[in-house]
Amino acid sequence: MQIAVFSARPYDRRFLDEASAQQGAGQGHELVYFDAALDLHTAPLAQGCAAVCVFVNDRLDAPVLQALHAGGVRAVLLRCAGFNNVDVAEAQRLGLFVARVPAYSPEAVAEHALALVMTLNRHTHRAYNRVREGNFMLDGLLGRTLHGRTVGIVGTGKIGLATARIFRGMGCTVLGHDPYPSAAFADVGDSVALDELLARADIVSLHCPLTPDTHHLINDASLARMKPGAMLVNTSRGALVDTHAVIRALKSRRLGQLAIDVYEQESALFFQDLSGEIIDDEAFQRLMTFPNVLVTGHQGFFTVEALQEISAITLGNLADFAAGRDCANQVRAD
Ligand code: NAI
């Protein structure tokens, strides 16, 4: 069985090949790697493959799924947790098996959220450059002691809980908002309504999935409810945040700091070297002009441990599909 792996970076090849070798020869599958992202133009690359293996910015809308199905594809293996880029109803109608990696080192993403907060709060990114130039002035590097501050976690699932535990360990007061609050979160923080969380938190960190309900959860109205000068952190999905509203809030000084690992229009930018190109995304370029904005290119998941888990679980999902077994990680429309 051939599997077309789209958006394959060298690290994807390394960890998938390692997991494949560990799971043993004789699994009867061959991984075929493509640098290209999956869309309607690249779907024909999967012609004759039984499965595609995709990532966050591959596009699996109805026309792409229909093209894949016509080419013989019967399974979609997501090597990520979120599946907002897949038209699951259409996949189900076509009889395609769709599986994801629901949990892999939630601490990897939580620790990256912490890294963003610590960097932005203490300006270590600026201090690094300053010191290398022989400038040892502290002006402009003033931070806040995080101990005793209030952190609001929106979405207290696996990653939100791991993030909450980290901040609790640092002596922060932790608030959470989730329509399905977990018992585990009750040990770490208080569950409150979203409005209360926004009004009380010095740092708001987003960890809920992107759904029609959560699209632009952070907009002009919710930003106006945030504490003046608060920090917003998004390591979940870009479209949780209305970028233009955030730019307005930064310009008016209402929003104090912004740290994002995901961006609404990231598919045109992230995971590519555009250092020699003209970037014509005006909103992204505007964000880059703010000294109190920190952006990383969707690297929250990017640890050795997480990539090993992603690869092993993805190939496990493939084995379930190939054997016709029930798969705990299958994504269904209902
Ligand atoms: P999870 O499913 O364990 O937790 C998500 C939580 O959000 C659930 O408890 C759910 O009830 C809650 N939720 C749903 N709607 C909500 C709403 N309207 N308001 C508040 N909470 C709501 O998922 P997990 O593993 O914690 O992942 C969270 C998200 O992180 C994923 O959906 C994905 O988009 C993102 N992610 C980002 C990565 C990165 O590299 N930056 C890597 C992995 C995941």
Which of 266, 277, 325, 332 is catalytic? The answer is 266
Is 100 noted as a catalytic residue in this protein? no
Q: Compute, in angstroms, the gap from residue 70 CA to the centroid of ligand 1.
A: 33
Q: Please state the atom number of ligand 1 nearest to the C-alpha of residue 80.
A: 43
Q: Compute, in angstroms, the gap from residue 88 CA to the centroid of ligand 1.
A: 18
Q: Please state the atom number of ligand 1 nearest to the C-alpha of residue 155.
A: 21
**Residue 9 tokens, joined:** 């970076």
Which of 237, 248, 254, 264 is catalytic? The answer is 237
Cα 224 to Cα 245: distance, rounded to the nearest angstrom: 10
Beta bridge partners of 252: none
* Ligand 1 neighbour 79 (Cβ under 6 A): no
pLDDT in 10s for each residue of the chain, 334 residues: 999 999 999 999 999 999 999 886 556 789 999 999 999 999 999 999 999 999 999 999 999 999 999 999 999 999 998 899 999 999 999 999 999 999 889 999 999 999 999 999 999 999 999 999 999 999 999 999 999 999 999 999 999 999 999 999 999 999 999 999 999 999 999 999 999 999 999 999 999 999 999 999 999 999 999 999 999 999 999 999 999 999 999 999 999 999 999 999 999 999 999 999 999 999 999 999 999 999 999 999 999 999 999 999 999 999 999 999 999 999 998 7
CATH-assigned architecture of domain 106-295: 3-Layer(aba) Sandwich (3.40)
Q: Compute, in angstroms, the gap from residue 129 CA to the centroid of ligand 1.
A: 34
Instruction: Fill in the DSSP letter of residue 279.
Output: -
Q: Looking at residue 24, what is its pLDDT? A: 67
Q: Looking at residue 28, what is its pLDDT? A: 73
Q: Identical fold at 2-104+303-323 and 106-295?
A: yes
Q: Whose CA is nearest to atom 37 of ligand 1?
A: 236
* Ligand 1 neighbour 207 (Cβ under 6 A): yes
Cα 52 to Cα 68: distance, rounded to the nearest angstrom: 9
* Ligand 1 neighbour 152 (Cβ under 6 A): no
* In the chain, where the domains are located: 2-104+303-323, 106-295
Cα 326 to Cα 106: distance, rounded to the nearest angstrom: 24
Residue 246 · residue 193 · CB < 8 Å: no
Closest by Cα among 119, 111, 146 to 291: 119
Q: Please state the atom number of ligand 1 nearest to the C-alpha of residue 299.
A: 40
Q: Please state the atom number of ligand 1 nearest to the C-alpha of residue 236.
A: 35
Q: Please state the atom number of ligand 1 nearest to the C-alpha of residue 84.
A: 34
Instruction: Fill in the DSSP letter of residue 37.
Output: P
Q: Compute, in angstroms, the gap from residue 241 CA to the centroid of ligand 1.
A: 14
Mutation probe of ligand 1 site: the residue of 86, 109, 215 with most atoms within 8 A of C-beta: 109
* Amino acid residing at 62: A
Helix (H, G, I), strand (E, B) or coil at 241: strand
Q: Compute, in angstroms, the gap from residue 157 CA to the centroid of ligand 1.
A: 6
Is 237 noted as a catalytic residue in this protein? yes
Fold type of domain 2-104+303-323? Rossmann fold (3.40.50)
Half-sphere exposure of 28 (CA within 13 A, CB side): 8
Q: Compute, in angstroms, the gap from residue 21 CA to the centroid of ligand 1.
A: 31
